[in-house]
Chains A and B, each alone.
Chain A
Amino acid sequence: AESPFKADIERAQKELTEKMTPGAIAYIPGSSVINKTGSWRVFRPEFKKDKCVRCFLCYIYCPEPAIYLDEEGYPVFDYDYCKGCGICANECPTNAIEMVREVK
């Protein structure tokens, strides 16, 4: 499955000029997707597919949204934007998501 932001990222990267504008106005709609905010993450969600019942609760509750669904309806975690808030793991009724500390 592809990130739903893929087209936006490509478009924004193409149109983006590196020039600062008066008032720091952003003239390209949706261009914030360029900022890969996932680097803030301390805990990452690790997905255990065998426990998943495809209830979509993680997909619905993700505030970013950094979870999208693959063709079979399983969640895909977009680590470019996931900040590791853990809401998905907390909501998951079958404990199919585990928060694991990021190690570099």
Chain B
Amino acid sequence: MPIRTVMKANEAAAWAAKLAKPKVIAAFPITPSTLVPEKISEFVANGELDAEFIKVESEHSAISALVGASAAGVRTFTATASQGLALMHEVLFIAAGMRLPIVMAIGNRALSAPINIWNDWQDTISQRDTGWIQFYAENNQEALDLILLAYKVAEDERVLLPAMVGFDAFILTHTVEPVEIPDQEVVDEFLGEYEPKHAYLDPKRPITQGTLAFPAHYMEARYLVWEAMENARKVIDEAFAEFEKKFGRKYQKIEEYRTDDAEIIFVTMGSLAGTLKDWVDKKREEGYKVGAAKMTVYRPFPVEEIRELAKKTKVLAFIEKDISMGLYGAVFTDASAALINESEKPLMLDFIAGLGGRDVTFNQLDEALSIAKEALEKGKVEKPIHWIGLRKELL
């Protein structure tokens, strides 16, 4: 029987790792993710998880140790956030390029400067081009489930790419919520043993990993990473379907909420989706034709799903906790690219919100709605990007 209990998302991530039975965990503490390796170290010390726990001197070393472990052929896990993830940056490309299905939990946190330990998505969004699959959890249950799903997708032979699962700093990492811990036997059935056919060490089969590729070969290696990410779209759908069958919880790349007759649909990720759905209920009661959509997968970008969503609405608005300096938010930019060749597309707006842990309130969503309504009435977007919840008195 699954155990229904209460825990923080950090603990849920540690439990997911325990259920997935990684053989090597290497981690360096960083707020707000420290509790993840702390809890795992307890599992290892108590003999509840048979794994090597490597205490390293930095996040760069943590991910490098996992590249080595994964290249040797075992399942691996780590957790980090913010500056720690940024410090891993160069090795993230290596993990993807070497096709190592490392899974990592991220307590999504803002980047310095100014230093800030609270939630936004700039840390993971900034790693979007590294070749890592990216999931975003709305709540603690999703944090646990998506880590299991991350292993399932990452280790699939059609994919073989690393994956990260983001859950919002403090809003989820340090908040206690009901979580169902699945049965070990069912998880074992779902994931199985990790048996790599490409990257593993065996003296009887000498190979070279981490090779040098001259201009005559580099592009093809990169193309295979891109192709694997394309393959991941289908593999993710299959994994979601199998997960639902085994565990009874449904996941979709884009989950829609009250979108059927909506004129304005707001799209977001992570815990903000919960706030957004509550707010949509309120606005529906007030007679507004608004809907919500939550992106569970950011890489590979859900291109087809965004196109389907765009067909349903007159205004497609993104609320995101990240910003690409010199342009717009990353989710809006990517969605715009997904729609560029569609003959009919909705008006599109980008709302930057909640950076550095600022609460995204109903008032701020109302502010976004009034901008979206104005665009709808005028039939055009004069300015695509708006920062909502800005304290103008400070500027």
Residues of A at the B interface (CB closer than 8 Å) are: 20-27, 29, 32, 35
Give chain B residues whose Cβ lies under 8 Å from the Cβ of A23. 97-100, 160, 198-199, 209
Q: Tell me the minimal C-beta distance from A93 to chain B in angstroms.
A: 35
Question: Are B211 and A20 in touch, CB under 8 angstroms?
Answer: no
- B206 proximal to A (CB < 8 A): yes
Q: Tell me the minimal C-beta distance from B388 to chain A in angstroms.
A: 43
Give chain B residues whose Cβ lies under 8 Å from the Cβ of A35. 214
Comparing B45-53, B139-147, B220-228, B264-272, the segment that makes contact with chain A is B220-228
Given contacts A20-B221, A20-B224, contact A25 B97 (CB under 8 A): no
Q: Can you name the residue of chain B whose Cβ is closest to the Cβ of A26?
A: B208
Q: In the complex the two chains form, what is the Cα distance from A55 to B75 in whole Å? A: 52
Q: Can you name the residue of chain B whose Cβ is closest to the Cβ of A35?
A: B214
In the complex, how many residue pairs between chain A and chain B have their CB atoms under 8 Å apart? 40
Q: Can you name the residue of chain B whose Cβ is closest to the Cβ of A29?
A: B206
- B115 proximal to A (CB < 8 A): no
Question: Are A24 and B199 in touch, CB under 8 angstroms?
Answer: no
- What is the 8 Å Cβ interface bit string for chain B, positions 45-72, against chain A (1 contact, 0 not)? 0000000000000000000000000000
Q: Tell me the minimal C-beta distance from B154 to chain A in angstroms.
A: 13
Specify the main secondary structure of chain A where it touches its partner: loop
- B213 proximal to A (CB < 8 A): yes
Q: In the complex the two chains form, what is the Cα distance from A22 to B220 in whole Å? A: 10
Give chain A residues whose Cβ lies under 8 Å from the Cβ of B199. 23, 25
Q: In the complex the two chains form, what is the Cα distance from A32 to B224 in whole Å? A: 22
Q: Can you name the residue of chain A whose Cβ is closest to the Cβ of B214?
A: A35
- B378 proximal to A (CB < 8 A): no
Give chain A residues whose Cβ lies under 8 Å from the Cβ of B206. 29
Q: Which residue from B100, B207, B223, B224 sits with its C-beta under 8 Å from A27?
A: B207
Q: Tell me the minimal C-beta distance from B142 to chain A in angstroms.
A: 29
Residues of B at the A interface (CB closer than 8 Å) are: 97-100, 160, 198-199, 206-209, 211, 213-214, 217, 220-221, 223-224, 228
Q: In the complex the two chains form, what is the Cα distance from A18 to B211 in whole Å? A: 15
Question: Are B208 and A25 in touch, CB under 8 angstroms?
Answer: yes
Give chain A residues whose Cβ lies under 8 Å from the Cβ of B217. 20, 24
Question: Are A25 and B209 in touch, CB under 8 angstroms?
Answer: yes
Question: Are A26 and B211 in touch, CB under 8 angstroms?
Answer: yes
Q: Which residue from A24, A26, A29 sits with its C-beta under 8 Å from B97?
A: A24
Question: Are B208 and A21 in touch, CB under 8 angstroms?
Answer: no
Question: Are A25 and B198 in touch, CB under 8 angstroms?
Answer: yes
Q: Tell me the minimal C-beta distance from A4 to chain B in angstroms.
A: 19
Q: In the complex the two chains form, what is the Cα distance from A25 to B98 in whole Å? A: 8
Q: In the complex the two chains form, what is the Cα distance from A71 to B264 in whole Å? A: 85
Question: Are B228 and A22 in touch, CB under 8 angstroms?
Answer: yes
Give chain B residues whose Cβ lies under 8 Å from the Cβ of A24. 97-98, 211, 213, 217, 221
Question: Are B209 and A20 in touch, CB under 8 angstroms?
Answer: no
Give chain B residues whose Cβ lies under 8 Å from the Cβ of A21. 198
Q: In the complex the two chains form, what is the Cα distance from A20 to B99 in whole Å? A: 13
Q: Which 6 A-B pairs have the closest CB atoms?
A: A23-B99, A20-B220, A26-B208, A29-B206, A24-B221, A22-B99
Give chain A residues whose Cβ lies under 8 Å from the Cβ of B160. 22-23
Give chain A residues whose Cβ lies under 8 Å from the Cβ of B221. 20, 24
Question: Are B198 and A22 in touch, CB under 8 angstroms?
Answer: yes
What would 19 A/B residue contacts be, using CB atoms closer than 8 Å?
A20-B217, A20-B220, A20-B224, A22-B224, A22-B228, A23-B99, A23-B160, A23-B198, A23-B199, A23-B209, A24-B221, A25-B198, A25-B209, A26-B207, A26-B211, A29-B206, A29-B207, A29-B208, A35-B214
Q: Tell me the minimal C-beta distance from B211 to chain A in angstroms.
A: 5
Give chain B residues whose Cβ lies under 8 Å from the Cβ of A27. 207
Question: Are B224 and A25 in touch, CB under 8 angstroms?
Answer: no
